[in-house]
């Protein structure tokens, strides 16, 4: 028979084989894998048995291959497949926690940056783990080499199952953004998701997904732990910036476009059903929506574990999933994976009445997601929900986020409860032991056949996502290609153009903007007090220019003397008062709960609830979480004072505010003092200056309401969008959803016609 394959190339120990009209194969000479020839084509003998097993046959559908392989796997191997690693940095020295190499600290061990750490080798070999979450990487080339090491190791073990490496969002412009440990670096830079939403342009978001997927694949990343499609209906939520805003229709359209971009391969890059070599699995989060935490608190912490629905609006929070993520326009059909949130969706279980974390809730997963909406993709828990809760309610580590099952369950029993609820995978778990113990307990209760079938069901879902991307054929990277693709000039340009389209011009009195060439600007320094980040690590005191002076000077003259300036440019951030819990309050005999304020100055919660909707009756927790009557002040109150001082120094000369928002903010404290406000949601300094100088025209629209005051924030329902009284500025403009200005005035176009709720006010610009 005529041979239909030939050797294509060799790079180091990686050999490549090209099949005529078929799959490109890549395998490591060190893995022990050899080739099998059948019908003239070449196949990888991953099981090393000298036969072409169905799962090794790249001509067969992914579903057939996944079922065959799942049937061959031991329970230990399936347990490992169900694991999803804790955060891994490349090199290991960049991680949250110390890594070792050869028993020594990674730094100083002599290890190359792309070497696998001791822990990584252990969980790949001993625990059979194949899903790895990657955070920071020192360079694209290092990431590519590290990927090749991981894949060569995995290829040579057992049945040769490759690694499915993944990432949280990493295309933001600001590496310090909360919940975004991989952001920044040598990769195209785009607005944060809230900024993408501000473009009101699903096609732009689809293009982002397509570009981001190509960069992910070039880094060895095949699953994106995104998009975050929670409706952010409470304005105080710290994860607001990771969403597409508060509106269900906009969130639905953006979710659909984002996932289509990430998952779709076209033309010769397609393998089957829209999937292929450019595809990246999208793990949408967080089912059934985490944007309605009581008081705006976040469920990473025990004090924020309850999502509440005082407006009875649970069903609307499902729309971005059921009408967006599960009804794609592209060939892949639906997002390949779903992540439930940590939250307890308070009193939403109409079957069993359980108030447990969403992943543990059989009604939310089996009854609603699986049965009612017919979802058969992977369900993966959020990170660390099977470990015992920590002793310090204010810290992320150590301890788990096992909300609702804190007591009365062992770690293994939690895993079993998750499996019975319909979950396939355990986020942040590196060790197979508890999963194997869950299997043993389940086999005693329900029989060995039941548990084997349940494990295989999850294995098929997990393996299907790997087969569809061609990982079994070639999981390896060519380092030079990675360097060429990641952060290419074409992709950088597209990301920058999106940044420009994401900014929202709120105010432009007397059309002070754009600034004329040759304008002299006063740019005051901004003070940030020392503090801690959301993980609990200390952050330094900073008193410096908020924008890079060398960039500002490319556009205008800069002075430190207000008397010499034509205008002032004040760069501030939205008000940030904390997370809604205070150790000091608890130590003083209070319940620990305090307001989350969206204003800068002192705020007393006079209009808060007398009694919280949700609570924990255990002696060591708090039932009534009300904070009525308590007072907080924003950590960055100095931003407000900076605007006031600058206005006083400038007199009648214009003051322009560049405002970075990660969620809504009360602007009433300073808006009457200033002449222009330009909002961004995370962009490069150059984009801000391009807009201020007129090199580009603002076109973004608010993807959320900006409240008039904190009274309306307290009185709105956490689960209902568009239910606040919005701020009206001195020009008569209401800062409502879908509002924005361009140089001519209030924007009215096809976007505002489609999405505005209510209609954009008719006041002139």
Q: Which of 459, 485, 511 is the last residue of a domain?
A: 485
Contacts for 348-356: CB closer than 8 Å, 24+ residues apart: 348/288, 348/309, 348/314, 354/404, 355/404, 355/614, 356/403, 356/404, 356/405
User: How high does pLDDT run on average in the chain?
Assistant: 95
The last residue of one of the domains, among 439, 455, 485, is 485
Helix (H) or strand (E) holding 88: strand 87-90
In the numeric block, the tokens 């397609």 are attached to 270
Residue 408 pLDDT greater than 70, yes or no: yes
Place of tokens 């002793």: 391
Sign of CA dihedral 175, 177, 181, 182: negative
585 within 8 A of 622, measured Cβ to Cβ: no
Alpha helices in 185-244 (DSSP H): 193-198, 202-218
DSSP H or E stretch at residue 232: none
pLDDT digits (tens, 9 = 90+) for 431-468: 999 999 999 999 999 999 999 999 999 999 999 999 99
- CA–CA separation, 221 and 164 (whole Å): 7
596 in a domain, yes or no?
A: no
Task: Give this prediction's pTM.
Answer: 0.97
pLDDT tens-digit map of 110-166: 999 999 999 999 999 999 999 999 998 999 999 999 999 999 999 999 999 999 999
CA atoms 459, 465, 470, 471: torsion sign: negative
The residues near 139 (Cβ < 8 Å, ≥ 6 apart) are 113, 185, 186
28 found inside a domain: no
In the chain, what percentage of residues exceed pLDDT 90? 92
Inform me whether the pLDDT recorded for 762 exceeds 80.
Answer: no
Same-domain pairing of 567 and 439 = no
Stretch 192-199: mean pLDDT: 98
Residue 152 lies in a domain: yes
Is residue 381 located within the same domain as residue 520?
no
Residue 759 above 50 pLDDT? no
* Residue 23 within a domain: no
Predicted confidence (pLDDT) at residue 180 exceeds the cutoff of 80: no
- Same structural domain for residues 475 and 441? yes
Per-residue model confidence as pLDDT tens digits over 348-381: 999 999 999 999 999 999 999 999 999 999 999 9
Q: Does any domain span residue 599? A: no
Q: CATH code at 266?
A: 3.20.20.300
Residues 549, 571: one domain?
yes
The pLDDT assigned to 393 comes to 86
211-257 pLDDT per residue, tens: 999 999 999 999 999 999 999 999 999 999 999 999 999 999 999 99
Q: What is the pLDDT of residues 389-407, one digit of tens each?
A: 999 888 888 889 999 999 9
In a domain, 349, yes or no: yes
- Average pLDDT of span 31-45: 97
Residue 307 to residues 230, 295, 339, 356, 613, Cα–Cα distance (Å): 12, 9, 16, 11, 10
Average pLDDT over residues 745-761: 82
Per-residue confidence (pLDDT) for residue 350, from 0 to 100: 97
462 and 521 within one domain:
no
Adjacent-strand bridge partners of 573: 660
**What pLDDT was estimated at residue 178?**
59
Residue with tokens 């002076």: 549
Query: Which residue is it, tokens 């570009």?
Result: 211
State pLDDT tens for residues 564-618: 999 999 999 999 999 999 999 999 999 999 999 999 999 999 999 999 999 999 9
pLDDT of residue 185: 59
75, 68, 757: which is closest to 460 by C-alpha?
68
| Domain co-membership, 347 together with 447 | yes
What are the backbone dihedrals phi and psi of residue 286, each rounded to the nearest 5 degrees, phi first?
Answer: -130, 115
Could you read off the pLDDT of 473-493 as tens digits, one per residue?
A: 999 999 999 999 999 999 999
Instruction: Tell me whether residue 616 is in a domain.
Output: no
Q: Check whether residue 481 and residue 510 sit in a common domain.
A: no
Burial class (CB in 10 A: 0-12, 13-18, 19+), 64: middle
Domains: count for the chain: 2
Residues 299, 433, single domain; the answer is yes
**DSSP character string of 141-169:** HHHHHHHHHHHHHHHTSTT-PPPEEEES-
User: For the packed helices 118-125 and 140-155, what is the interaxial angle rounded to 10 degrees?
Assistant: 30
pLDDT of 174 reads 61
Q: Any idea of the CA torsion for 678, 680, 685, 687, to the nearest 10 degrees?
A: -80
Query: Domain span at residue 245?
Result: 78-485
Q: Which of the listed residues 430, 450, 485 is the one where a domain comes to its end? A: 485
Any domain includes 515: yes
Same domain, 414 and 551: no
Residues 377, 408, single domain; the answer is yes
Burial class (CB in 10 A: 0-12, 13-18, 19+), 452: middle
Query: If you average pLDDT over residues 399-417, what whole number do you get?
Result: 97
The pLDDT score that the predictor gives to residue 182 is: 55
- 149 and 259 both lie in a single domain: yes
Half-sphere exposure for 418 (CA within 13 Å, toward CB): 39
For residue 718, what is the domain's CATH number?
Answer: 3.40.50.1700
Cβ proximity of 272 and 469 under 8 Å: no
**Confidence grade of residue 179 (pLDDT, cut at 50, 70, 90):** low
Output the pLDDT for position 1.
Answer: 79
Q: Does 505 lie in the same domain as 478? A: no
Q: What is the pLDDT of residues 81-107, one digit of tens each?
A: 999 999 999 999 888 778 999 999 999
């Amino acid at each position: 028979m005529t041979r239909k394959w030939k050797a294509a190339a060799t790079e180091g120990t990686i050999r490549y084989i090209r099949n005529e009209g078929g799959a490109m194969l890549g395998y490591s000479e060190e893995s022990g894998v050899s080739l099998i020839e059948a019908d003239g084509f070449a196949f990888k003998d991953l099981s090393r048995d000298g036969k072409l097993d169905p799962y090794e046959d790249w001509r067969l559908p992914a579903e057939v291959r996944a079922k065959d392989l799942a049937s061959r796997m031991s329970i230990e191997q399936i347990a490992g497949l169900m694991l999803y690693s804790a955060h891994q940095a490349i090199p290991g020295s960049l991680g949250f926690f110390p890594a070792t190499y050869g028993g020594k600290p990674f730094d100083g061990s002599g290890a190359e940056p792309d070497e696998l750490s001791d822990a990584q080798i252990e969980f790949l070999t001993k625990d059979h783990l194949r899903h790895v979450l990657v955070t920071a990487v020192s360079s694209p080339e290092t990431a590519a080499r590290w990927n090749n090491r991981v894949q060569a190791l995995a290829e040579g073990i057992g049945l040769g199952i490759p690694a499915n490496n993944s990432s949280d969002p990493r295309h933001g412009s600001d590496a310090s953004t909360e919940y975004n440990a991989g952001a920044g670096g040598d990769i195209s830079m785009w607005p944060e998701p809230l900024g993408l939403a501000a473009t009101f342009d699903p096609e732009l978001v689809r293009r982002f997904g397509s570009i981001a997927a190509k960069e992910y694949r070039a880094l060895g990343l095949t699953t994106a732990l995104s998009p975050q499609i929670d409706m952010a209906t409470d304005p105080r939520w710290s994860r607001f910036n990771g969403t597409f805003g508060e509106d269900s229709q906009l969130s639905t359209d953006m979710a659909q476009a984002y996932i289509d971009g990430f998952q779709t391969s076209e033309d010769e890059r397609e393998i089957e059903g829209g999937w292929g070599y450019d595809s990246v699995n999208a793990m949408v989060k967080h089912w059934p929506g985490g944007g309605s935490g009581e008081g705006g608190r976040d469920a990473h912490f025990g004090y924020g574990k309850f999502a509440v629905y005082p407006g009875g609006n649970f069903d609307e929070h499902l729309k971005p999933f059921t009408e967006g993520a599960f009804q794609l326009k592209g060939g892949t059909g639906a997002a390949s994976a779903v992540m439930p949130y940590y939250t307890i969706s308070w009193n939403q279980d109409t079957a069993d009445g359980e108030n447990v974390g969403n992943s543990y809730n059989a009604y939310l997963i089996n009854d609603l997601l699986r049965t009612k909406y017919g979802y058969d993709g992977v369900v993966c828990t959020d990170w660390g929900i099977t470990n015992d809760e920590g002793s310090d309610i204010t810290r992320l580590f150590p301890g788990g986020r096992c909300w609702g099952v804190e007591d009365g369950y062992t770690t293994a029993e939690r895993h079993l409860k998750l499996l019975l609820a319909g979950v396939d995978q355990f986020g942040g778990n590196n060790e197979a032991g508890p999963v194997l113990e869950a299997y043993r307990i389940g086999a005693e209760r329900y029989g060995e056949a039941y548990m084997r079938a349940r494990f295989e069901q999850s294995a098929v879902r997990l393996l299907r996502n790997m087969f569809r991307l061609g990982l079994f054929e070639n999981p390896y990277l060519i380092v030079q290609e990675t360097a060429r693709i990641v952060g290419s000039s074409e992709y950088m340009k597209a990301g920058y153009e999106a940044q420009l389209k994401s900014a929202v011009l709120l105010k432009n009195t007397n059309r002070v903007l754009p600034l004329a060439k040759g304008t002299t600007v006063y740019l005051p320094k901004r003070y940030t007090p020392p503090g801690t980040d959301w993980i609990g690590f200390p952050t330094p005191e900073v008193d410096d220019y908020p924008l890079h002076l060398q960039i500002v000077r490319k556009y205008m003259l800069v002075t430190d003397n207000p008397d010499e300036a034509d205008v002032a440019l004040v760069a501030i951030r939205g008000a940030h008062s904390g997370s809604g819990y205070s150790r000091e309050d608890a130590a003083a005999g209070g319940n620990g709960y305090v307001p989350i304020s969206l204003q800068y100055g002192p705020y007393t919660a006079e209009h808060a609830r007398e009694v919280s909707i949700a609570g924990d009756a255990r002696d060591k927790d708090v039932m009534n979480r009300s904070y009525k009557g308590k007072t907080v002040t924003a950590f960055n109150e100095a931003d407000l004072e900076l605007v006031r001082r600058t206005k006083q120094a400038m007199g009648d000369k214009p003051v322009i505010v560049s405002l970075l928002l990660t969620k809504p903010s009360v602007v009433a404290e300073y808006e009457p003092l200033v002449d222009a406000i330009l909002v961004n949601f995370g962009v490069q300094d150059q984009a801000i200056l391009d807009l201020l100088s007129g090199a580009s025209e603002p076109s973004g629209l608010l993807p959320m309401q900006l409240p008039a005051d904190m009274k309306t924030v307290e009185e709105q329902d956490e689960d209902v969008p568009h239910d606040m009284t919005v701020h009206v500025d001195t020009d008569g403009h209401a800062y409502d959803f879908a509002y924005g200005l361009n140089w001519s005035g209030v924007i009215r176009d096809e976007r505002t016609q489609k999405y505005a709720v209510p209609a954009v006010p008719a006041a002139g610009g």
